Amino acid sequence: MKKLNRKGNTSTTARSLARTRLEYFEQRRDQMVDKIRRFVEIESPSDNKQAVDRISAFVAEEFAAIGGRAQFHRVVDFGNHLQVDFEGETQQKPILLLGHYDTVYPTGTLPNMPCRVGNGRLWGPGVLDMKSGIALMLYAIQGLLAWHGGRLPRPVTVLLVSDEEVGSDSSRAITESLAKQSSAVLVAEPSYGPKGAVKTARKGVGQYELKVTGVASHSGLDFEKGQSAIVELAGQIGAISKLVDLKRGLTLNVGLVQGGTRVNVVPAEASATIDVRIARMKDAAGIDRNLRSLKPFNRKCKLAVTGGINRPPLERNAGVAMVYNKASLIARELGWKLSEAAVGGGSDGNFTAGLGIPTLDGLGGVGDGAHAVHEFIVVSELPRRAALLAGLIEAI
């Protein structure tokens, strides 16, 4: 599948093999849609363990039915994480297929946002992010099993976690340890844009909290004895905004502020929560230092900064480029041009790329509206996404 002729075009054999495989998935397109629907119709918000455990068990059975060895990593506060191992014909290190089954939608969303097909689209909560990605993994593996006489060409591990949408605290160690044992990580998170670009760079994400302590007083009787934490915080927000460096891909967003007790009290307390995004890991230490060394404008107020960078950026390093190049070659054999994109949002692919494991993200469904009321995937894109994923498992 990897051969190029002298003109740099894909060989005819490779193209006809790719076409046959695409055909395999075309014939299963409606099955795939049904499967995604089943996944979407089991609601699974990150903060509802019972609900997430339900989809975890359901998905485990699906992978077990095609020969995977499923095991749960049991978690108390979140849903269980699911690991499924498939043996291969060779003893190579496995490919890790990475994703999550938690969503941002509370239970009871479905009646207002039903899962439905229309206009060549499949709509529903979590359909793009990333229940279609789970179905793509399932069908890609199924295809490979069919083409290789019931055994995968190489070992594959599937890891689906339950807490990605809330920071992956309980799954990060598992993700990292499996990634270290794998030769590459393929992340079936949503692709980017209407053309379904894969993601070869993602920003790192951090969260900080700034707490200001001032001195309370009666705003009428003792105004001058008070030291307003809110006035101080307002100044600090200005200082924080000055740390933004768009050219470096470094952004800080004061997304939440809180402060005060009553309108007639000079406020003794105020706080801000700051979302930090970095494009390069080498900017992490500097921004951390800058935030921690903020000085009060009013010396009678005190500042306390907590937090840190919790997802490293996914940088387009050699490993990422290697997997992307393979992906774009496979796409070309399938008859399309696969583009790449750099995005601001993080995923668990940030952890694995941060460890230096070749990682390609955004291999999931094509659509729009992740986390929004109009979330959908484009049905006609499913077969070639499955073919791409299967091709990558073989080619890496």
- Give yes or no for residue 189 binding Zn ion (CB under 5 A): yes
From the CB of 129, what's the least distance to Zn ion, in Å? 4
Q: Which stretch binds Zn ion (CB under 5 A): 56-64, 105-113, 187-195, 255-263?
A: 187-195
C-beta closer to Zn ion: residue 160 or 378: 160
Q: Which stretch binds Zn ion (CB under 5 A): 6-14, 47-55, 189-197, 272-280?
A: 189-197
C-beta closer to Zn ion: residue 26 or 47: 47
Q: How far is CA 110 from the centre of its chain?
A: 22
Q: By the 8 A CB rule, do 67 and 145 touch?
A: yes
From the CB of 182, what's the least distance to Zn ion, in Å? 20
From the CB of 158, what's the least distance to Zn ion, in Å? 15
Q: Enumerate residues 244-303 that contact Zn ion by CB under 5 A.
A: none
C-beta closer to Zn ion: residue 152 or 366: 366
- Three-state SS across the chain? CCCECCCCCECHHHHHHHHHHHHHHHHCHHHHHHHHHHHHCCCCECCCHHHHHHHHHHHHHHHHHCCCEEEEECCCCCCCEEEEEECECCCCCCEEEEEECCECCCCCCCCCCCCEEECCEEECCCHHHHHHHHHHHHHHHHHHHHHCCCCECCCEEEEEECCHHHCCCCCHHHHHHHHHCCCEEEECCCCECCCCEEEEEECEEEEEEEEEECECEECCCCHHHCECHHHHHHHHHHHHHCCCEHHHCEEEEEEEEEECCCCCEECCEEEEEEEEEECCHHHHHHHHHHHHCCCCCCCCCEEEEEEEEEECCECCCHHHHHHHHHHHHHHHHCCCCCCEEEECCCCCHHHHHHCCCCEEECCCCCEECCCCCCCEEEHHHHHHHHHHHHHHHHHC
Give the integer Cα–Cα distance in Å for 4 and 15.
Answer: 11
Q: By the 8 A CB rule, do 81 and 159 touch?
A: yes
Give the integer Cα–Cα distance in Å for 289 and 304.
Answer: 13
From the CB of 130, what's the least distance to Zn ion, in Å? 5
C-beta closer to Zn ion: residue 62 or 129: 129
Q: Which stretch binds Zn ion (CB under 5 A): 32-40, 188-196, 323-331, 388-396?
A: 188-196
Give the integer Cα–Cα distance in Å for 134 and 52.
Answer: 14
C-beta closer to Zn ion: residue 130 or 138: 130
From the CB of 373, what's the least distance to Zn ion, in Å? 17
From the CB of 214, what's the least distance to Zn ion, in Å? 40
Q: Which stretch binds Zn ion (CB under 5 A): 10-18, 86-94, 124-132, 295-303?
A: 124-132
| Closest residue to bound Zn ion by CB | 129
C-beta closer to Zn ion: residue 288 or 348: 348
C-beta closer to Zn ion: residue 229 or 382: 382
C-beta closer to Zn ion: residue 130 or 229: 130
Question: If binding means CB under 5 A, how many residues of this protein chain bind Zn ion?
Answer: 3
Q: Enumerate residues 126-145 that contact Zn ion by CB under 5 A.
A: 129-130
Q: Which stretch binds Zn ion (CB under 5 A): 48-56, 184-192, 267-275, 288-296?
A: 184-192
Q: Which stretch binds Zn ion (CB under 5 A): 30-38, 181-189, 191-199, 206-214?
A: 181-189
Residues 302-341: x/- map of binding to Zn ion (CB under 5 A)? ----------------------------------------
C-beta closer to Zn ion: residue 163 or 189: 189
From the CB of 212, what's the least distance to Zn ion, in Å? 34
C-beta closer to Zn ion: residue 62 or 164: 164
Binding site for Zn ion (CB under 5 A): 129-130, 189
